[in-house]
């Protein structure tokens, strides 16, 4: 099997597993760079040394977009995050080839990923969320819709695709839950607090009797799409940001980060959070969402340290 055939086989398997179009496109784009570097050779001939040479070449790059057909090259090498992403795709390809018994041994098993720097937290602040919510105070159809939309994002930590594709029948307000479809065809439950339930009830009371069952239909005069698309959700947030006078960036994914951070700050555990976010593993949750500043970590320590517990109980371990 040639390297190109292997990439196509992985993409077919990924599609069959119900993964999203974005994931499939990412594999195709990322692994295309590997094929360009190594050539379309038999996968059996690829050794760890070849993959390390590819990793070294990525690290040595002095231009960005040099191999992009539609972008002008720019000075400066690839970011460490771009390099790690490309190498994770390489490891995924050879892990899959080994699992499928196309290869007897995995040459990428000992291929190391670059160490990623600690990212700054991306979460929307509580103050900004309060400002946005205040901007929806009112009784108009748009204000009720926007309030419900904000609270669903903040209360569930769902992805923007899950929000955009919610249907009325997916929501059970009596049970305070809904079923969202994300990343392809993956369906998972999300849960509501009473404040969100109230906002959804008020929205459904005035939701126009459109001929589609989307929870958030397109209310604009030009209806290219029947539902509020992912891009349109972003436009709603940008409008509310301007009205509310919020300074920090406001995107759907910052609500997801805020949900994760507040859950952990309030004492929630990482394993349960991973399930609530719909992640495939706890490692993904820890890498991208359990990100805190040093002062926040100190606050965690002060709250949960065993010594803090002794101080609260007035038991300092002294003996008479």
Lowest mean pLDDT among 13-17, 225-229, 241-245: 225-229
Residue 253 designated active-site: yes
What pLDDT is stored for residue 66 in this prediction?
Answer: 57
What pLDDT is stored for residue 34 in this prediction?
Answer: 95
Residue 71 designated active-site: no
Q: Which domains does the chain have, with CATH numbers?
A: 3-99 (1.10.150.130), 126-250 (1.10.443.10)
Residue 144 designated active-site: no
Average pLDDT, rounded, for the chain = 87
Q: Write the pLDDT tens digit of every residue in 184-238.
A: 678 899 999 999 999 999 999 999 877 779 999 887 665 556 778 888 999 999 9
- Report the 10 Å Cβ neighbour count for 93: 23
Give percent of the chain with pLDDT exceeding 70: 88
Strand partners of residue 190: 178
Question: CA–CA separation, 156 vs 80, rounded Å?
Answer: 31
Q: Which of 86, 144, 145, 159 is catalytic?
A: 159
Q: Which of 64, 122, 202, 253 is catalytic?
A: 253
Q: Which of 144, 256, 257, 261 is catalytic?
A: 256
* pLDDT at 302 > cutoff 60: yes
Question: CA–CA separation, 133 vs 137, rounded Å?
Answer: 7
Residue 165 designated active-site: no
| Residue 150 in tokens | 């904000």
Give percent of the chain with pLDDT exceeding 90: 57
Q: Write the pLDDT tens digit of every residue in 252-263.
A: 999 999 999 899
Q: What is the DSSP string of 83-101?
A: HHHHHHHHHHHHHHHHHTT
Residue 256 designated active-site: yes
Quote the pTM value.
Answer: 0.67
Q: Which of 15, 28, 183, 202 is catalytic?
A: 183
What pLDDT is stored for residue 17 in this prediction?
Answer: 82
Residue 223 designated active-site: no
* pLDDT at 86 > cutoff 90: yes
- Decide which of 267 and 48 is more confident: 48
- Please give the average per-residue pLDDT across 265-290, as a whole number: 86
Query: What confidence category does residue 154 fall into, taking pLDDT thresholds of 50, 70 and 90?
Result: very high
What pLDDT is stored for residue 250 in this prediction?
Answer: 95
| Residue 105 in tokens | 């041994």
* pLDDT at 106 > cutoff 60: yes
């Amino acid at each position: 099997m040639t390297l190109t055939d292997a990439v196509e086989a992985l993409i077919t398997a990924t599609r069959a597993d119900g993964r999203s179009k974005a994931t499939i496109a990412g594999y195709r784009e990322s692994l295309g760079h590997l094929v360009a570097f190594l050539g379309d050779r038999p996968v059996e001939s690829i050794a760890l040394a070849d993959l390390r040479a590819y990793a070294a070449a990525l690290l040595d790059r002095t231009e960005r977009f040099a191999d992009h057909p539609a972008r002008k090259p720019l000075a400066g090498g690839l970011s460490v995050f771009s390099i790690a992403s490309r190498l994770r795709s390489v490891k995924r390809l050879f892990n899959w080839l080994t699992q499928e018994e196309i290869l007897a041994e995995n040459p990428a098993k000992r291929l190391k990923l670059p160490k990623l720097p600690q990212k700054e937290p991306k979460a929307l602040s509580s103050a900004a969320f309060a400002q946005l919510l205040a901007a929806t105070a009112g009784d108009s159809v748009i204000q009720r819709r926007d309030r419900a939309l904000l609270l669903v994002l903040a209360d569930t930590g769902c992805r923007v695709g899950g929000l955009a594709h919610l249907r009325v029948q997916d929501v059970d307000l009596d049970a305070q839950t809904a079923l969202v479809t994300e990343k392809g065809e993956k369906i998972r439950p999300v849960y509501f607090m009473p404040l969100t339930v109230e906002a959804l009830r008020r929205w459904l009371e005035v939701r126009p009797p459109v001929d589609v069952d989307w929870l958030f239909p397109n209310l604009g005069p030009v209806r290219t799409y029947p539902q509020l698309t992912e891009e349109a959700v972003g436009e709603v947030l940008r409008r509310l940001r301007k009205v509310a006078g919020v300074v920090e960036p406001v995107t759907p994914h910052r609500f997801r980060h805020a949900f994760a951070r507040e859950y952990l700050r309030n004492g929630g555990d990482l394993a349960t959070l991973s399930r609530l976010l719909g992640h495939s593993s706890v490692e993904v949750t820890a890498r991208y969402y359990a990100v805190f500043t040093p002062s926040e970590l100190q606050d965690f320590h002060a709250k949960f340290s065993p010594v803090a517990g002794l101080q609260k109980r007035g038991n300092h371990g002294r003996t008479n």
